[in-house]
């Protein structure tokens, strides 16, 4: 699934994709952004839109 146009992705799908990638491929949010060539501001805006935040201790997104 293409995650590069995150503004068009459904929130639940985005949430699942990001958590899966963090669990299986990347050990931090910064590594995920580099791996997928994502912009931090765009990513943060999507987090805000769907009401979640990145938890570095568990390396996953959590709903607020």
Question: Is a pLDDT exceeding 70 seen at residue 37?
Answer: yes
pLDDT band at 2 (very low <50, low <70, confident <90, very high): low
How far apart, in whole angstroms, are the C-alpha atoms of residue 53 and residue 61?
A: 5
Overall average pLDDT of the 34-62 stretch: 93
Length of the chain: 64
* Per-residue pLDDT, 1: 53
Q: Which residues pair with 62 in a beta bridge?
A: 53
**Full-model pTM:** 0.86
Overall average pLDDT of the 19-29 stretch: 96
How far apart, in whole angstroms, are the C-alpha atoms of residue 62 and residue 53?
A: 5
How far apart, in whole angstroms, are the C-alpha atoms of residue 12 and residue 9?
A: 8
pLDDT band at 51 (very low <50, low <70, confident <90, very high): very high
């Amino acid at each position: 699934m293409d995650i590069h146009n995150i503004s068009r992705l459904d929130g639940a799908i985005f949430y699942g994709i990001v958590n899966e990638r963090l669990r299986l491929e990347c050990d931090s949010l910064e590594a995920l952004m580099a791996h997928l060539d994502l912009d931090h501001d765009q990513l943060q805006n999507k987090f805000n839109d769907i009401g979640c935040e990145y938890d570095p201790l568990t390396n996953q997104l959590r709903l607020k």
